[in-house]
Amino acid sequence: MTFFSTLITPTTEAQPLMANKIAITRAAQIQIVVRDMGTATYVGVGGSDSQDRRLTGVGANVGIDTPLGKRYLDLKSLFIISDTADAVVEIIGDAVE
């Protein structure tokens, strides 16, 4: 496993969570942390059809572990969105090669 960290600025359209690190597609676990809200009222994280995990303040975070019975978390299945395009989110994790 290899540690990684990246920053992303979510837009008002759902975009891949790992848009800044497209080479990282699998992880043992990740932590998503809001570093700056700008004028946003929320940052949403989830699948391609619904980003229903809401982070609403600086320091708000969500951890996502490997699903039960799986060997890794598929990062291509995670998306992020916000109601403005000026929040900053950090993604930290352990990549699986």
Q: What domains appear along the chain, each with residue ranges and CATH number?
A: 2-95 (2.60.120.770)
- If you count DSSP H runs as helices and E runs as strands, how many of each does the chain have, helices first? 0, 9
Integer Cα distance of 58 and 66 in angstroms: 25
Integer Cα distance of 87 and 10 in angstroms: 7
pTM: 0.92
State the pLDDT at residue 75.
96
Model confidence at 15, pLDDT cuts 50, 70, 90, reads very high
